[in-house]
Structure 1
Amino acid sequence: MNDVAPSDAHIRLGMFEAACDILAAAVIVYDRNDCLVFASRQVLRHFPIPADTLRPGTRLRDVLGAIFDSGVRYGIAPEQRSKAINREEWISARISAHWREQYEAVERLGRDRWVHFRKRRLPNGYNVTTLVDVSEQKKQEEQWRTDLERIALTEEILETLPSPVVIKDRNLAYIAVNKAFCAIHDTSPDSILGRSIWALADAESAGRIEASDRGVLETGEPFTLAEHLVRADGSDLYVITRKYRIGAPGNHAIVTLMQDVTALAAGQKVVTDSGDALLRVPGGFVEAQNCLDPVRDAERRLLLDQLAPEDLRAAAGRRVLIATPSPRIEDILVGEFKARGADCCAVASVHEHDVFLAIAAEHGLSIDLIVVDNSLPSHDALLRNGRGIATRLVVPDGIGPDFIRALVEEHELLSENASPLGDIVTPVSLADDWYIATDITTMLPAAVGDVEVLVAEDNQINQFVFSQILEGMGISHRIAENGEEAVMLWRKHQPRLVLMDISMPVMNGIDAAMEIRAAEKLTGTHTPIVAVTAQALNVDMQNCMDAGMDDYITKPVSPDMIEAIYRRYASVKPERSVA
């Protein structure tokens, strides 16, 4: 057996040392007898021990003893570091870890020094240990943890502030809103974050708000304005809006703070300049975004009108159960009773009603009032068997003309000139004149684009909402009650935009869109078709895109939503392609 080292051993050792320097790693190798074979010079950067200790042949126990004597104590739990540690016990524990087949740990060698230990026992009995300084990484992790805690605390403070607060990025998209701001619009942060003001406000208000945001973003000068808003529940809100620019250049953000001065503004509105006003605002309050939904408010008033006044007056402290399959009616009635101090919840079927009463009886809870929606299947059984509980019936499906009349009244209250709504666009009948043309150039001039928007919607209330929005925007439109009628009206009027409900009788919106796209292959045109869905499910969206639709919106629709879609797709007339 030849125990003589190869002639190039020193070259290999030098290359190994260089590799350790490049990798910024300390390497220690022990043989099967726990005697030192190799230790790179980086080891001395981690342990303040004599250099002679790292000579080949030194026992592992002696190396560990030198480390202990230098004051370094690794491998000890934080709670044990303040206690006296026996030298032999510490060395024995380190040798035990040394003999594991694999051992890995991040150890703290000082207040600001962290080392990542890796130990591997090879099949031939040799042990290879590497040490890598991870102090910077640990400092960054601790900084990140501190930053996250600070962010969480900031978000909590932002959320609990009574004043509405909004933060927008340099693209003027919402990146943070607090609970007080969402309460104004009666919405959730998810429906605001990531969007711009154009998706939330009318065009006039959006333009004014964006102009002030850009002014602050570009100049850094704070902005202040006294505004009068209308909350989603119809109540007045007077605020002093202040905007500030924050952040570093190239990554600025806009913080908007609204100070509620409604109580003071009430006094300001009834005094003269010579009087002692509670609040003086030069130029008065600017009319800002109107958050009141007249359709929802009309529904609310009509539903409440069907309840006995004494039920509403005595709601505080009572237990009320709402039985309705409609989430919208549930939302309105549960909210109204809770606002009056009642303990209120809802069920969606007769079975749920019976189970709910049975569980309530088991727990000794009495129900004072049950409000039943007459559109609930088999609701007669609830009226016959109320178990002695007061029961009231609401008729949401039968409100018809009353609902239209309530909307007219609401519009007159909100309109500055108290003008009525005017003629309501009703759905066309199937007997309406129509014709088929396969070449768009042969159509009568009046038939090409004389209707800007075609709405395919089977629900009468939604038809009215679409009509009101489009009328208010000054956009000519027609209403189709089903997909088959939508295709016929599209052929006749060649609208600039189609708003297609995907769930309709006779022919659904998916099939209608596919039929329109097939016809367009012959005429060489393309009409933007936007799906209108009850909920944005991925499978529904994919089906819409596969059918050739261009986009989608979800119900309930709003004027801002329709205006944004119209501006995006109907700013020009349908294009004609030349084959």
Structure 2
Amino acid sequence: MFEAACDILAAAVIVYDKNDCLVFASRQVLRYFPIPADTLKAGTRLRDVLGAIFDSGVRYGIPPEQRHKAVNREEWISNRISAHWREQYDAVERLGRDRWIHFRKRRLPNGYNVTTLVDVSEQKKQEEQWRSDLERIALTEEILETLPSPVIIKDRSLAYIAANRAFCAIYDVNADGVLGRTVWDLADAENAERIERSDRAVLETGEPFSVPEHVIRADGSDLYVLTRKYRIGAPGHHALVTVMEDVSALVAGDKAVSDDEDAFLRVPGGFVEAQNCFDPVHDAERRLLLDQMNPEELRALSGKRVLIATPNPRIEEILVGEFKARGADCCAVRSVGEHDAFLALAARQGFTLDAVVIDANMPDHEAIIDNGRGIATRVIAPDGIGPDFMRGLVEQHELLSENQSPLGDIVTPVSLTDDWYIATDISTMLPGAVGDIEVLVAEDNQINQFVFSQILEGMGISHRIAENGEEAVMLWRKHQPRLVLMDISMPVMNGIDAAMEIRAAEKLTGTHTPIVAVTAQALNVDMQNCMDAGMDDYITKPVSPDMIEVIYRRYAIPQPEKSVA
């Protein structure tokens, strides 16, 4: 029966008595050591068994740094006997090139020694493969992180799951400020819709997509990129990779790039406005200037030579960037004297201008118009564009608020990290309004975050993850989820306080969001605290798909009203 048990367990067993003589050896031993079967007869000395193993060419228990050296037979046998006489010995030893054996030895009180041998080669190979994969992933991540071009990866729900340093630099945030969010959190509505439309087309069809884009960084500087999108992954597990090749230097005509003018980038139709890092002041200034230009003139700028005359650096930056993005060869002068000197130099070099755009605030700008020399001119009124532009907008807004503010006396406090939004009459908000996500999970542990995401994604439920109670309240305000799964123990603000703050806010709106507490253990005091804070239910960790599905069906799916007979 002992022999049959060893066969079933695929383990070799050897038993020695207190005199180191063999008592029992299962047939499985011969699978590990190519020694004569007679060696495993009862009564054979341990030294003789080890000698037969050494003579067969097997060498185990040798440190890796000594495997290339010659091994003395008696020294090796002595070391193995020494390990054999330990009260406990447990080690994974390498036999040959790609075979590993797990040795377990136990010395019993009566002096008998029981040794088991189990082949763990497949497990070791998997570990080696796993370690190799981790190293390869780490190397890939390092390469992506150091690439100068922004790279992002989105999952099937178009949420950011990876973003390299170059992409995060556009927004002046770290990766945590991007991951888990969508383009709707980063871009204005018009561009977010355009970007999402192309994202979904690539995910659905697998056809690559490319577009030249003009992005405004967080610091207000311009970024011109060739954006390319690709679908990767197996069916059902597709992901979207977006690579943004920075071509700002080529678009700007930087002479450090090339002395060959034909090498500079020309984009038919210009760059699409993709202000992922939306700057409302920059956008207002840009629109104010471009709206004074004829749309036909703007479309016909490609290949034209245009000179801008303005003393305002901000106007120069905006117009030069916009004209070059549309394919024009463009530069600026800041006075009438510079203008005249530029035209004289151009005439000597045999160059002619196609158009001049003149700032009406530039002193003596009428002289440029009078001496136009047959060049088309366009005068623009900058209307205070510059350092005081934002102040002027604020003053106009304050004047409007004093006279005819449509907002009334309603003031909704928000944290500095929250998004801006406009509050209308609170009494008109519909109770139980459904937001743009179904479940909000408040959980600070990264492993638990991954578990929740895997379960909810597998159920096809849209969700967001908050890392603390304060962030949970902020995301609740923004997304109005159908259900909140609230860990009660979190940093910054715990789940109890977060639930109380949500309930206090709901008293003003007449809404009610189901909040289910997530606890490590179901203690009566914890449950009572959750109920006192206004939570609706509780579940305990570890969570399971069945548990989440029951809670979701109970609180997030509208129940049909029962008819009354």
Instruction: State TM-score, norm by structure 2.
Output: 0.55
Q: Does 1:543 align with 2:526?
A: no
| Alignment map for 1:91-110 (pairs within 5 Å) | 91-110=77-96
Kindly report structure 1 stretches of 4+ aligned residues shifted beyond 4 Å: 292-298, 408-412, 420-429, 450-454, 493-498
Which residue identity lines up with residue 546 of structure 1 in the other structure?
M
Shift of 1:95: 0.8
Q: Deviation at 1:162?
A: 0.6
Question: Contact conserved, 1:497 with 1:527, CA < 8 A, in 2?
Answer: no
| Counterpart in the other structure of 1:304 | none
Q: How far apart, in 2, do the equivalents of 1:407 and 1:67 lie?
A: 86
Aligned-pair CA distance for 1:244:
1.0
Q: Aligned ranges for residues 233-248 of structure 1 at < 5 Å?
A: 233-248=219-234
Q: CA deviation at 1:249?
A: 2.2
Report matched runs for 1:168-317 at 5 Å. 168-267=154-253, 278-293=264-279
The equivalent residue for 2:61 is 75
Give the TM-score, by structure 1 length.
0.54
**Residue of structure 2 equivalent to 1:51:** 37
Matches within 5 A, 1:425-436: 425=401
* Residues 426, 41 of structure 1: alpha-carbon distance in 2 compared, 3 angstrom cutoff: farther
In the superposition, relative to structure 1, how do residues 455 and 78 fare at CA in structure 2: closer, same or farther (>3 Å)?
same
Q: CA deviation at 1:454?
A: 5.2
Give the structure 2 partner of residue 113 of structure 1: 99
Q: CA separation in 2, counterparts of 1:153 and 1:411?
A: 49
CA drift of 1:477 comes to: 2.9
Which residue in 1 is equivalent to 2:390? 407
- Counterpart-to-counterpart distance in 2, 1:87 and 1:218: 67
Give 3-state SS (helix, strand or coil) of 1:110's partner.
coil
| Alpha-carbon contact 2:151-2:244 (below 8 Å) kept | yes
Secondary structure of 1:291's partner? coil
The offset of 1:229, in angstroms, is 0.9
CA RMSD for the aligned pairs? 4.2
Q: Shift in Å at residue 456 of structure 1? A: 2.8
The aligned residue for residue 126 of structure 2 is 140
> Residue type of the partner of 1:32?
K
Q: Does the Cα contact within 8 Å between 2:186 and 2:277 map onto a contact in 1?
A: no
The answer to whether the Cα contact below 8 Å between 1:408 and 1:421 also exists between their aligned partners in 2 is no
Q: What is the letter of the counterpart of residue 111 of structure 2? A: G
Between the aligned partners of 2:132 and 2:409, the Cα distance in structure 1 is 54
Give 2:496's aligned amino acid: Q
Cα separation, 1, equivalents of 2:91 and 2:119: 12
CA distance change for structure 1 residues 453 and 73 in 2, over 3 Å: closer, same or farther?
Answer: farther
Closer, same or farther: CA 550–527 of 1 in aligned 2, 3 Å:
farther
Per-residue CA deviation, residues 371-393 of structure 1 (Å, 9 max, x unaligned), is xxxxxxxxxxxxxxxxxxxxxxx
1:458 is displaced (CA, Å) by 9.0
Q: Where in structure 1 are there 5+ consecutive unaligned residues?
A: 1-14, 269-274, 299-403, 413-419, 430-449, 479-489, 499-509, 514-525, 531-535, 553-576
Structure 2 CA distance for partners of 1:290 and 1:73, relative to 1, 3 Å:
closer
SS at match of 2:91: strand
Shift of 1:291: 1.6
Closer, same or farther: CA 216–109 of 1 in aligned 2, 3 Å:
same
Specify the code of the residue in structure 2 equivalent to 1:58: T
Distance in structure 1 (CA, Å) of the matches to 2:69 and 2:491? 60
Asked if the contact 2:3/2:27 (under 8 Å) is kept, the reply is yes
Q: 1:104 to 1:159 in 2, by over 3 A?
A: same
Q: Summarize deviations over 1:212-251 as a string: whole Å, max 9, x none.
A: 1111112111110011111111111111000111222222
Aligned residues: 350
Give SS of 1:539's match.
coil
1:490-515 Cα offsets, whole Å, 9 max, x none, are: 6xx455599xxxxxxxxxxx9xx9xx
Q: Are residues 277 and 81 of structure 1, via their aligned partners in 2, closer, same or farther at CA, if it must alter by over 3 Å?
A: closer
1:306 corresponding residue in structure 2: none
In structure 2, distance between residues paired with 1:266 and 1:124 = 87
The residue correspondences of 1:446-461 to structure 2 (distance < 5 A) are 455-457=411-413
> Does structure 2 conserve the Cα–Cα contact (< 8 Å) formed by 1:454 and 1:495?
no
Q: Could you tell me the percent identity over the aligned residues? A: 68
Equivalence map 1:483-498=2 (5 Å): 493=427, 495=429
Contact 1:114 1:138 in 2 (8 A): yes
Amino acid at match of 1:131: L
> Is the Cα–Cα contact under 8 Å of residues 453 and 477 in structure 1 kept in the other structure?
no
Change (3 A) 1:424 1:405: farther
**CA contact 2:209–2:228 (8 Å) conserved in 1:** yes
Name the amino acid aligned to 1:86.
N
**Residue 137 of structure 1: how far off its partner (Å):** 0.9
How many angstroms does 1:410 deviate by? 6.9
- Partners of 1:131 and 1:192 lie apart in 2 by 51
Q: Tell me if the contact between 2:208 and 2:229 (Cα under 8 Å) persists in the aligned partners.
A: yes
SS at match of 1:194: coil
**Distance (whole Å) between structure 2 residues aligned to residue 75 and residue 197 of structure 1:** 57
The offset of 1:197, in angstroms, is: 1.6
- Indicate how the Cα distance of structure 1 residues 87 and 422 shifts in structure 2: closer, same or farther if over 3 A, else same: same
Aligned match of 1:16: 2
* Secondary structure, aligned partner of 1:289: coil
1:497-539 deviation per Cα after TM superposition (whole angstroms, max 9, x unaligned): 99xxxxxxxxxxx9xx9xxxxxxxxxxxx999x9xxxxx9542
Distance 1:54 1:410 in 2: 95
Instruction: Mark the CA change 1:206 to 1:53 in structure 2 (over 3 Å): closer, same or farther.
Output: same
Deviation at 1:170, TM superposition (A): 2.3
CA distance in structure 2 between the aligned counterparts of 1:60 and 1:291, rounded to whole angstroms: 75
SS at match of 2:114: strand
Q: What is residue 463 of structure 2 aligned with on the other side?
A: none
Q: Describe the shift of the 1:296–1:283 C-alpha distance in structure 2 as closer, same or farther (beyond 3 A).
A: closer
C-alpha separation between the residues in 2 aligned to 1:238 and 1:458?
Answer: 34
SS of structure 2 residue aligned to 1:105 = strand
- Asked whether the 8 Å contact 1:109–1:115 carries over to 2, the reply is yes
Code of the aligned partner of 1:477? T
SS at match of 1:477: coil
Task: Describe the shift of the 1:293–1:496 C-alpha distance in structure 2 as closer, same or farther (beyond 3 A).
Answer: farther
Q: Is 2:412–2:423's contact at 8 Å kept on the other side of the alignment?
A: no
**Aligned-pair CA distance for 1:541:** 5.2
CA deviation after TM superposition for structure 1 residue 452, in Å: 11
Q: Which residue of 1 aligns with 2:347?
A: none
Match of residue 361 from structure 2? none
The residue aligned with 1:125 is 111
For the residue of structure 2 that corresponds to 1:240, the secondary structure is: strand
Identify the residue that residue 477 of structure 1 maps to in structure 2.
Answer: 424
Cα pair 1:164 1:257 within 8 Å, conserved: yes
Q: Deviations over 1:76-125 (max 9, x none)?
A: 11111111111111111111111110001110011000000000001111
Deviations 1:286-309 (A, max 9, x none): 1112525458999xxxxxxxxxxx
Whole-angstrom CA distance in 2 between matches of 1:152 and 1:74: 33
1:497–1:206 CA distance, 2 compared to 1 (3 A): farther
Gap change, CA 1:52 and 1:110, over 3 Å in 2: same
Deviation at 1:457, TM superposition (A): 2.8
Separation of aligned partners in 2, 1:427 and 1:142: 73
User: Take 1:550 and 1:46, find their aligned partners in 2: how far apart are those partners?
Assistant: 70
Q: Is the 8 A contact 2:188 2:278 kept in 1?
A: no
Spell out the pairing of 1:60-71 with structure 2 (5 A cutoff).
60-71=46-57
2:70 to 84, 109, 115: 84
Distance of 1:452 and 1:46 partners within structure 2? 86
